[in-house]
Amino acid sequence: MSLGKRIKERRLEKGLTQEDVAKKLGMGRSNLGHIERGRTKPSAEVLNQIASILDTTTDYLLGRSEKKDETFNPELTEKDERDIKKELQKMIDGLNNKGSYAAFDGQTLDDMDDEDRELLIASLENSLRLAKRIAKQKFTPKKYRK
């Protein structure tokens, strides 16, 4: 599929008109029409703007990728890893206290068999990692996303 067809397809998927996209680009509707019909090629700057408006990547528009959506999947930093370990240790310590409200089903971690204890700790760690990634996805401004 050509660049123009991909732009048009993505624009329609997003429910945008040529006029909507052209206004955001600061150009006339007919200019965008020429790009969609393949009569003219957009500059790299304009292509980046189009990809941003259509919430996709330039690789998709150029046919180098079939992945339409621009997804931001943040990596966890060393600081994030340290924070997760600290929080996990707090949770484990809380579960080890006999009088703790956080005791699991009335048991402390010491009362559990090895397999259950390891599964619970792994589950808590995975939950903390997932929560950290979701928070980064949700609260990282677009201009800082790679």
Q: List per-residue pLDDT tens for the chain, 146 residues long.
A: 788 999 999 989 889 999 999 999 999 999 999 999 999 999 888 998 998 888 888 888 888 877 666 555 678 889 999 999 999 998 888 777 765 555 566 667 777 788 888 888 888 898 998 888 888 877 777 666 65
pTM over 0.75: no
Q: What are phi and psi of 104, to 5 degrees?
A: -85, 110
